[in-house]
Amino acid sequence: MWRISKFVRPDGQLEVEDAASLATELGIPAASLRGTASFYADFVEPPGVRTCDGTSCFLCCGKELREELVKRGAPCRGVYCLGYCDQSPVALAPDGLPLVLSMKTLPGIRSHGRLSIVTRRLVDGGAASLKKARRSGAYEALAAALGGHPEVVLSAMDHSGQRGRGGAAFTTGRKWRTCAESPADRRYVIANGDEGDPGSFLDRVLMEEDPHAILEGLLLCGFAVGAGEGIVFIRSEYPRAITAMQAAIREAREAGLIGRDILGRGFDFEISVFPGLGSYVCGEETALLNAIEGRRGEVRIRPPFPSQSGLHGFPTVINNVETLVNVPFIVADGGVTYSTLGSTATTGTKALCLNRGFARPGIVEVEFGIPLRVVIEDLGGGARDGKRLAAVLIGGPMGSVVTPEDWDVPLCYGAMHERGIELGHGGLIAVPEDADFRGLLDHWIRFMIAESCGKCVPCRLGSQCAANALGASKSGAETRRRLEELFKAMEQGSLCAFGQSMPQPMRQLIRHFGDRIFPSPSVP
């Protein structure tokens, strides 16, 4: 796909003669080449300042920031989301530097519980350099593992009970073992750094400040499943993360930690960075695979699952960044030790992101099982500026709207799911009592329109029909009925979690705050 980018003009159009030559080289029709290029926002959107249109910035004066930048003559384009939700509103300059009201090197980072795993280097200011990372134990688990058998690593992952932290919460050990046992002469492992959920910024911070933890997790995964190549897929909205990961790979390679015969143990493994090109749906693992292969970022039908048939048709493990950062601890201390953290139903810890709507925004790592209310009221300090919270949005646009009566639910995938709450990636956005709830519903619908890959009719057209229904001057009852029809069609007819899951939080918002979204007409 990156060969395509050099033939794209600033206006997003392909240079015809060069495009024809490239199409011939790749063995595909020129129309397919143009179709691929037109899919990605970075090819078709004009350059300039990227302003955040994410939910946190929507609730925290993002519109006002954009208007001010336009007033100053800055060319702007909206992006969902830039990953600085603790500092909303935010924009990203063309040089990749964030433009925020009060820039901090790191968000507020703290832990609550017996042990911090994911954030342990972040609380000390990060460990971007190999020297600093190794002082805190980086690559020790890898060195020990390479002296044994891959089954030892697989067994540790099985016993840990760890579930993926990217939102789907699939058991990590089971995914790895499926890949390892799928017959093939080549396998891949991928770190999914396409953290696009508005409200989440943990992966960005980890890639920027603790990249070697991710690389060690990738290396251990590759060794366990028999892969020879790893890829770190990073969204283009995270330019500092791309630079940091590339620098870490260079350092690790020079130290003999990446490449041939790693640490003299006969293990060969290469790692590269693949930058995304501006597509939210590429956070979905099969759309991500298509992007790497140079295709449109549309989802694939499953089964087969990537662990059986993934990149270029070979078995592939795809884990999100936080999942991989847990791996060195699990391998070093043992899966059983890890399983004692958290709750019986959901083991380990979870790093949660609190947006600027909280009195104490930032990242907090907690053990599973802690009541959600403790996170919101004690660790997050409730709403900023002394306001009262009407709800919190958890897990991004495919997550949940959680009102105070449900805040006593424990942080646990099973317990939360039973109450219709999805943790997702773990981003929490505070919704104050005076929020514009109709505007928030419209914001989510337009997010769906903008970010749908377009493959499924219910998702592509249903979202536009929902926007039309909300904007039509009909009665509240009629609009609610029409929206519910569309939500059901999206859930039942969409191919991936984007179309299947987005209706639920919108439905919850209407259920809890319908009187503010569809106010009764005043009686003369």
DSSP characters for 315-341?
A: -EEEEEHHHHHHHHHHHHH-HHHHHTS
Structure tokens of 127? 């460990």
Q: What is the pLDDT of residue 523?
A: 44
Return the CATH architecture of domain 437-517.
Up-down Bundle (1.20)
* Contact yes or no for 373/410 (Cβ under 8 A): no
Instruction: Identify whether the C-beta of residue 398 lies closer than 8 Å to the C-beta of residue 424.
Output: yes
Minimal CA–CA distance to 451: which of 55, 15, 13, 25? 55
Task: Provide the angle, in degrees to the nearest 10, between the axes of the packed helices 16-26 and 30-39.
Answer: 110
Question: Does the reported pTM lie above 0.85?
Answer: yes
What does the pLDDT profile of the chain (524 residues) look like in tens digits?
545 555 555 444 555 556 677 777 767 777 777 778 778 888 777 778 889 999 999 999 888 888 888 888 888 888 889 999 999 999 988 877 777 655 556 788 988 888 899 999 998 888 999 999 999 999 999 999 999 999 999 999 999 999 989 878 889 999 999 999 999 999 999 999 999 888 999 999 999 999 999 999 999 999 999 999 999 999 999 999 999 999 999 999 999 999 999 999 999 999 999 998 888 888 899 999 999 988 888 889 889 999 999 999 999 999 999 999 999 999 999 999 999 999 988 999 999 999 999 999 999 999 999 999 999 999 999 999 989 999 999 998 889 999 999 999 999 999 999 999 999 899 999 999 999 999 999 999 999 998 888 888 999 999 999 999 998 877 888 999 999 999 999 999 998 888 899 999 999 999 999 999 998 765 44
Query: Which of 450, 426, 440, 411 is closest to 505 using CA atoms?
Result: 440
3-state secondary structure of 49: strand
Angle between helices 321-333 and 150-160 (to 10 degrees): 110
**Side chain identity at residue 321, one-letter code:** V
| Region for 190 from its dihedrals, namely left if φ exceeds 0, alpha if ψ lies in -120 to 50, beta otherwise | beta
What one-letter code names the amino acid at 142? L
Please state, in angstroms and rounded to a whole number, the distance separating the CA atoms of residues 468 and 446.
Answer: 10
What are the domain boundaries of the chain? 2-39, 49-100, 118-160+168-335, 349-432, 437-517
The whole-angstrom separation of Cα 22 and Cα 296 is 16
CATH number 3.40.50.11540 given to 118-160+168-335: yes
- Sequence letter at residue 168: A
Return the CATH number of the domain spanning residue range 349-432: 3.10.20.600
Supply 174's token pair: 């089971």
| Interior/surface letters 156-168, b for 16+ CB within 10 angstroms, e for the rest | bbbbbbbbbbbbe
> Helix, strand, or coil here: 188?
strand
Contacts of residue 219, Cβ cutoff 8 Å, sequence gap at least 6: 142, 230, 257, 258, 262, 269, 271
